[in-house]
Amino acid sequence: MIGAIIGGIATLGKQWLTNRKRVSDAKAEQKITRIQQDGSIAIQLTQGLKDEWWTLILTFPYLVGYWGVVSNNPEIIERSREMFETLTVLVPREVWSTATIISVVVSFGGRVSDVLDRFGWGGKK
């Protein structure tokens, strides 16, 4: 009787260790796949300027506003405010700012999914 109990516990322990190893192997494989994907993404990022152009386009209103403040030019500051008001009428502020953040993150080699996960809009819970 005791031998059967010990044998059952040993079988459960062995199965638990096997499952842990499978989980560990799966995590390692997932990390390897992500590293391989990052390598191809890094190559693509160095071959084009599309992300940088989008970053410049999306941050242009901010840059104009900064220039107005630095140059102490009230006319530029006022036009910058009007630009933001117009953009807010055309596109909601949340969409505009999220697009800008995503563009900047992607320009520096980040992932859109990581940004969306941080905002709580991604698939991860």
C-alpha 57/C-alpha 108 separation (Å) is: 16
pLDDT digits (tens, 9 = 90+) for 51-105: 677 778 878 888 888 898 999 999 998 988 888 888 888 888 888 778 888 877 8
Of the chain, the end-to-end C-alpha distance in Å amounts to 46
Q: What does pLDDT average to over the chain?
A: 79
Range of the domain at 38: 1-47
pTM for this one? 0.44
117 and 57 in a common domain:
yes
Q: Which of 28, 47, 66 is the last residue of a domain?
A: 47
30-55 mean pLDDT:
69
pLDDT at 124 over 60: no
67 and 28 in a common domain:
no
124 and 69 in a common domain:
yes
